[in-house]
């Protein structure tokens, strides 16, 4: 919930703990996607602990803001965020990707607080638009957020949805691109370059904010600006680092979908701790 005084230090402390928990749960499960989870930590914290209207004790509250996690492989950061927000016990994080757990390999509505099953890329923005259209018809003020990956927006369906949102003036849609620069097999810029990305979204009729996606002040300011921008949808291009916080994972495609072993986990947590003291 938006607060009058935002304690940035406490958000930073959360970011440190979230990264640790993400790596621990992926280590325990033996598989999962650390790179794009670590890059989206500050984005998810800003949404769930600052901007979004939601009730962890009442996940289906009618007037809640909705987040569609279009990059569905980052279930670790989603699960850690929802557990810390109070949707379910943090004990369940130990059962991530295990048979019978409600924490699936890709984001799933079995998990309390998740709005929509995802996993195949390029789907979420159209779903968010549908929610936004419905909200306007119902005269509801809740908003539709959509978190996308940078590699993901190579999918043509994203741009179909981008046209729909601007054509129908869906100012209750806020898209966030986690621009962490790396996709499965290398650098986005080398595989299929997105640049000039700001101009692309602008030419599709969007209000565009390009910010440092690890900077809470910038995220909060951008999310606030998106909310008051009327007549067009807003996209926040969050410039981030894949694998953020763990140097041997940063900007390494190999860590897109690989679990750290016990030794790597130990080294990673040490790095997170030393990074925090800087």
Partner 1 sequence: MAEMIATRDGFGNEIVELGKTNDKILVFSGDLEDATRAEYFKKAYPTRFFNLGITEQDVVGTAAGASTLGFVTFATSFAVFLTNRAYDQIRMDVCYNNCNVKVVCSHAGLTVGEDGASAQCLEDLAIMRVLPNMRVLCPVDNVEVRKATRAIVAEKGPIYMRTSRAPLPVITSESDPFIIGKANVMRAGKDVTFIACGIMVSESLSAAEILKAEGIDARVINMHTIKPIDKDTIIAAAKETGAIVTAEEHQIHGGLGSAVVEVLAQFAPVPVEMVAVKDSFGESGTPAELMKAYHLKDVDIVQAARKVIKRKK
Residues that bind partner 1 (CB under 8 A): 66, 68, 109, 115-120, 122-123, 125-135, 137-138, 144, 156-157, 160-161, 163-164, 167-168
38 or 161, CB closer to partner 1? Answer: 161
Pairing of strands 234-239, 173-179: parallel
Going from the C-alpha of 91 to that of each of 13, 20, 138, the distances in angstroms are 20, 14, 38
Shortest gap between Cβ of 177 and partner 1 (angstroms)?
17
Query: DSSP of 69-124, one letter per residue?
Result: ESSTT-HHHHHHHHHHHTSS-GGGGGGTT-TT-S--SS--TTSTT--S---STT-H
Shortest gap between Cβ of 123 and partner 1 (angstroms)?
6
16 or 159, CB closer to partner 1? Answer: 159
| Max CA separation in the chain (angstroms) | 54
Shortest gap between Cβ of 65 and partner 1 (angstroms)?
13
1 or 138, CB closer to partner 1? Answer: 138
Q: Cα(172)–Cα(46) distance, rounded to whole angstroms?
A: 18
Q: Cα(30)–Cα(175) distance, rounded to whole angstroms?
A: 31
Residue written as tokens 């794009």?
Answer: 36
Shortest gap between Cβ of 168 and partner 1 (angstroms)?
8
Quick check: 78 and 115 in contact, CB under 8 A? no
160 or 224, CB closer to partner 1? Answer: 160
Quick check: 39 and 178 in contact, CB under 8 A? yes
53 or 167, CB closer to partner 1? Answer: 167
163 or 254, CB closer to partner 1? Answer: 163
Pairing of strands 186-187, 207-212: unpaired
Nearest to 43, CA basis, from 7, 64, 74: 74
Shortest gap between Cβ of 80 and partner 1 (angstroms)?
23
21 or 65, CB closer to partner 1? Answer: 65
Shortest gap between Cβ of 115 and partner 1 (angstroms)?
7
Q: How many CA atoms lie within 13 A of 36 on its CB side?
A: 27
Q: Cα(63)–Cα(188) distance, rounded to whole angstroms?
A: 37
Shortest gap between Cβ of 241 and partner 1 (angstroms)?
29
Quick check: 178 and 243 in contact, CB under 8 A? no
């Amino acid at each position: 919930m938006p607060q009058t005084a935002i304690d940035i230090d406490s958000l930073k402390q959360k970011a440190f703990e979230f990264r640790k928990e993400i790596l621990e749960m992926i280590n325990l499960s033996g598989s999962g996607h650390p790179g794009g989870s670590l890059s989206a930590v500050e984005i998810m914290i800003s949404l769930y602990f600052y901007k979004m209207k939601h009730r962890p004790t009442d996940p289906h509250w009618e007037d809640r803001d909705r987040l569609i996690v279009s990059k569905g492989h980052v279930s670790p950061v989603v699960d850690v965020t929802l557990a810390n927000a109070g949707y379910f016990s943090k004990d369940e994080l130990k059962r991530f990707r295990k048979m019978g757990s409600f924490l699936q390999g890709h984001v799933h509505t079995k998990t309390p607080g998740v709005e929509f099953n995802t996993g195949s890329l390029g789907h979420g923005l159209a779903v968010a638009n549908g929610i936004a259209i419905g909200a306007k018809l119902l005269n509801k003020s809740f908003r539709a957020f959509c978190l996308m990956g940078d590699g993901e927006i190579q999918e043509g369906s994203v741009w179909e949805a981008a046209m729909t949102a601007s054509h129908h003036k869906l100012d209750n849609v806020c898209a966030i691109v986690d621009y962490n620069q790396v996709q499965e097999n290398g650098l986005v810029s080398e595989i299929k370059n997105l640049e000039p990305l700001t101009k692309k979204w602008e030419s599709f009729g969007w209000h565009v904010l390009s910010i440092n996606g690890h900077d809470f002040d910038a995220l909060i300011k951008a999310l606030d600006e998106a909310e008051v921008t009327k007549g067009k949808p807003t996209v926040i291009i969050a410039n981030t680092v894949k694998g953020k916080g763990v140097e041997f994972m940063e900007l390494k495609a190999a860590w897109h979908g690989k679990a750290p072993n016990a030794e790597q986990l130990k080294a990673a947590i040490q790095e997170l701790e030393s990074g925090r003291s800087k």
